[in-house]
Structure 1
Amino acid sequence: MPPRRLILLRHGQTQSNLDGIWQGHLDVELTELGRRQADAAAAQLTAYRPTTIVSSDLKRAAVTAQAVARDLSLTVAFDPRWREFHVGQWTGKTTAEVIAMHPAERLAALRGEEQRRGIDGEGPAEVRARVTPALDELIGRLGEGECAIIVSHGGTIRVLAAVLLGLDMLTATRLLTTPGNCQWADLVQAPAGWRLAGWNLRAPDLGAGEVSG
């Protein structure tokens, strides 16, 4: 039987991405480029013939998901469990401000250590605990050979990939760069478990941001 497949798609560009601002659960809009990125990704993702699309309920992911769903004639299922890391005191701050506030904690987070973002935000284990039930439910609904798209955020996508591939976060952080805006990962279920078929895939000829969130 053909394998099941999951596409992990990051949202399009936001102004906060451009400004290097930590968004976390901030609800911000896409830029005009972000909307074009979403449309371009949608055109490419039709080739996977997905049957299901789920998304974070934050606007930047929701609008991206709706663009993809429109091309596929699908309905998006929104779920806050697909949200980005809550970044606590770092919310709305630039990376330079975060480094000035909490240099050791920022470095630990960069390494993938079990460090809460913004001291009072979430750490990797908490995000893993949040997304794993949602992931299990989604996979349980997929038939043989079916594909689902998850529209989420840079940090959360890396956690999702770690869960599927059986990686700890230190290893996942070393191996998997943060996805750019509207870039996606392609994971295929093999007899021995999920395998990574592609990472940071993207539609051609459109810029992609580098800041997580």
Structure 2
Amino acid sequence: MTSGAVDLAGTRLIIWRHGNTDWNAGNRFQGQLDIPLNELGRAQAQSAAAVLAELHPDAIVTSDLQRAAHTAAALAERTGLTAHRDARLRERHFGAWEGLTREEIQERSPAGFEAWRLGQPLVADGIERAEDLLKRAHEGLVAAAERAPGGTVVVATHGGTARWAIAAMLGWPEEVIAGIGVLGNCHWSELRFYPRTGWRLTAHNRFA
């Protein structure tokens, strides 16, 4: 999928998950709650930034939530680039699930939790609709790519949004998203744009 407005031939997108937080460590759903990086997460961001800086990025774009923005800041400091914030790259809004552990959600909403685990549609508890997440994630990544057509753009985002964004860019159906491995904290995936085939996934869940 492309925007159709800009020649993106040769563009490389690095989709980078934020560093660890205390809620990650506790298997607690963060969603769009603005949870900070913990000490481990800050160290992960610095380590990953040292590697990503060697890719000579031309632009950095980040979710406006602090765990992603502070991860992106580590790379911005090394490269001298500005990390541009885009709320479309936020994590999925999980409604009443935000702040709960997986065990608590499974106890309170077993059917909903099982549907989420299997990648099936969720329509309860105020959770953001899959089609809305796909749309905004796609728009956010295309806008990021258009900041440096033909160059390398690093996008700091969230584990769930990264999976949906990758699927949206590749035109994959919603049903396959559950089969995409979740990025580890501060790991990244790579998409490249080829004129004849469009976006292709060329690396997944890398750290070094």
Task: Give the 5 Å matches for 1:113-152.
Answer: 113-116=120-123, 119-144=125-150, 146-152=151-157
Pairwise CA distance, 1:110: 1.6
Q: How many residues align?
A: 200
| Separation in structure 2 between the aligned mates of residue 141 and residue 169 of structure 1, nearest angstrom | 27
2:111 matched residue in structure 1? 104
1:137-186 Cα offsets, whole Å, 9 max, x none, are 22333222x01011000000001100111111221221x11111000001
Q: Please, what TM-score do these two structures have when normalized by structure 2?
A: 0.91
| Separation in structure 1 between the aligned mates of residue 36 and residue 85 of structure 2, nearest angstrom | 16
1:162-212 Cα offsets, whole Å, 9 max, x none, are 0111111221221x1111100000111122011111110013xxxxxxxxx
Work out whether residues 61 and 151 of structure 1, in 8 Å CA contact, stay in contact via their aligned partners in 2. yes
Work out whether residues 111 and 170 of structure 1, in 8 Å CA contact, stay in contact via their aligned partners in 2. no
1:192 alignment partner AA:
T
Pairwise CA distance, 1:2: 7.0
| Separation in structure 2 between the aligned mates of residue 195 and residue 106 of structure 1, nearest angstrom | 31
Structure 2 unmatched runs, 5+: 1-7
1:99 alignment partner AA:
Q
Work out whether residues 23 and 30 of structure 2, in 8 Å CA contact, stay in contact via their aligned partners in 1. yes
Work out whether residues 132 and 163 of structure 1, in 8 Å CA contact, stay in contact via their aligned partners in 2. yes
1:181 matched residue in structure 2? 185
| Separation in structure 2 between the aligned mates of residue 132 and residue 161 of structure 1, nearest angstrom | 8
CA RMSD of aligned residues (A): 1.5
Q: Please, what TM-score do these two structures have when normalized by structure 1?
A: 0.89
2:163 matched residue in structure 1? 158
1:111 alignment partner AA:
L
1:26 matched residue in structure 2? 33
Deviates more, 1:25-34 or 1:7-16: 25-34
| Separation in structure 2 between the aligned mates of residue 74 and residue 141 of structure 1, nearest angstrom | 12
1:71-94 Cα offsets, whole Å, 9 max, x none, are 111001111111000000001001
Structure 1 unmatched runs, 5+: 204-213
2:199 alignment partner AA:
W
Task: Give the 5 Å matches for 1:1-213.
Answer: 3-116=10-123, 119-144=125-150, 146-174=151-179, 176-190=180-194, 191-203=196-208
Percent of residue pairs identical: 38
